């Protein structure tokens, strides 16, 4: 009798654990906590599913959680990776860590921003932009291209974030793809020779421009809009509209293979890909919706009015891996 009771108690306990597990979803994200957390809390409120998030740090943006997902491949703890760009999502696909999922919420999103095999789906894009300090730029002229940073008047007066992390890595890989290895290396060596300031992060680039430590710099639209809200002395340019085009960087969702809560991961994916979520992200951090007709705050640009950099995200992901040693050498590590 005691043995039967023990078995029943164990069964009830296991059932209880199963119910508890089925009511949660584990999310790793490289998107700034101040922007991603309100979205995840809204999902909790609407569904009753508990979100257990892991946020990346500003200095190791995109790299920290990616490395953790790779390390956990044989014992996954994460259900869904919310990436700030598609390249890390593609790395997970290439390493056999991602699980395919075709969300019904993504049917109106352009195929340009989706994996053809449904291993990742893009939403709510940012762009790489030049920001500048209006008080300091007058005698130099506003830079309109990433190649303007090679001009003598900007020597030692412009900044980029450390290319070993975050969207700057993505941008470097895209430039390598666009120019070819030889021309790209020539460009980046010329940047160094013209005194580029390597900042800790995109947010640090923003601060340096706002504080007048540098005249201009490369960053993302979310940081640029923050800077313009905080200071009337900051301006923004979408670079290379007459040539190379501006790099567009959608967020990307990836479901993790053999994750603990695959059903809830799909529910969260559907939620993130909704037009309403894109509208919220436009309000929170000036991201540009990929769905057509989404209502956004005044001043948020439309992707229809920006010439994008032509990019093959799969190829750029491979290039990102190939250039890691070069980036370390370039940074001086």
Helix (H, G, I), strand (E, B) or coil at 84: coil
Asked if 55 and 106 sit in the same domain, the reply is yes
Name the β-bridge partners of 83. 252
Question: Domain for residue 132, yes or no?
Answer: yes
Residue 317 is given by DSSP the state H
At 262, which CATH number?
Answer: 3.40.190.10
Q: What is the pLDDT of residues 124-144, one digit of tens each?
A: 999 999 999 999 998 789 999
Task: For residue range 195-250, list pLDDT tens digits in order.
Answer: 999 999 999 999 999 999 999 999 999 899 999 999 999 999 999 999 999 999 99
Give the span between the Cα atoms of 270 and 257, in whole angstroms. 17
134/194 same-domain check:
yes
Give the per-residue pLDDT at 317: 86
Mark whether 132 and 121 lie in a shared domain: no
Q: What is the mean pLDDT of residues 254-277?
A: 98
Co-location of 165 and 198 in the same domain: yes
Share of the chain above pLDDT 70, in %: 91
- Domains in the chain, number: 2
CA torsion sign for 166, 246, 331, 87 is positive
Q: Is the pLDDT reported for residue 11 higher than 60?
A: no
190-203 b/e (C-beta count within 10 Å ≥ 16 → b): ebeebebebbebbb
Mean pLDDT of the chain: 90
- Give the residue numbers spanning the domain of 39: 21-125+250-300
| pLDDT for position 22 | 75
Q: Say if residue 12's pLDDT is above 60.
A: no
- Label the pairing between strands 234-237 and 121-133: antiparallel
Residue 163: which of 115, 209, 197 has the closest Cα?
197
Same domain, yes or no, for 118 and 141?
no
């Amino acid at each position: 009798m005691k043995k039967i009771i023990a078995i029943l108690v164990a069964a009830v306990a296991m059932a209880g654990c199963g119910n508890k597990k089925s009511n949660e979803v584990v999310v790793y994200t490289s998107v700034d906590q101040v922007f991603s957390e309100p979205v995840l809390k809204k999902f909790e409120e609407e569904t009753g599913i508990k979100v257990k998030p892991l946020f990346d740090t500003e200095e190791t943006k995109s790299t920290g959680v990616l490395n953790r997902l790779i390390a956990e491949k044989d014992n996954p703890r994460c259900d869904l990776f919310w990436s700030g760009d598609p390249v890390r999502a593609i790395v997970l696909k290439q390493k056999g860590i991602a699980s395919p999922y075709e969300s019904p919420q993504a049917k109106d999103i352009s195929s340009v921003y989706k994996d053809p095999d449904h291993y990742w789906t893009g939403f709510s894009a940012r762009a790489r932009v030049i920001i500048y300090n209006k008080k300091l730029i007058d005698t130099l002229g506003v830079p309109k291209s990433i190649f303007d940073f090679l001009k003598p008047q900007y020597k030692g007066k412009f900044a980029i974030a450390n290319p070993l992390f975050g969207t700057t890595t993505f941008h470097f890989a895209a430039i390598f793809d666009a120019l070819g290895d030889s021309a790209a290396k020539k460009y980046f060596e010329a940047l160094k020779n013209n005194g580029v300031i390597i900042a800790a992060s995109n947010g640090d680039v923003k601060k340096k421009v706002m504080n007048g430590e540098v005249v201009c710099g490369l960053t993302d639209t979310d940081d640029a809009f923050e800077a313009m809200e905080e200071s009337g002395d900051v301006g923004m340019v979408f670079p290379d509209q007459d040539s190379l085009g501006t790099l567009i960087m959608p967020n990307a969702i990836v479901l993790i293979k053999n994750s603990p809560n695959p059903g809830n991961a799909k529910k969260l994916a559907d939620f993130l890909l909704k037009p309403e979520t894109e509208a919220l992200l436009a309000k929170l951090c000036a991201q540009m919706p990929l769905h057509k007709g989404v209502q956004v705050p005044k001043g948020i640009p439309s992707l229809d009015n920006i010439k994008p950099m032509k990019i093959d995200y799969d190829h750029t992901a491979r290039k990102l891996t190939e250039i890691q040693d070069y980036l370390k050498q370039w940074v001086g590590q």
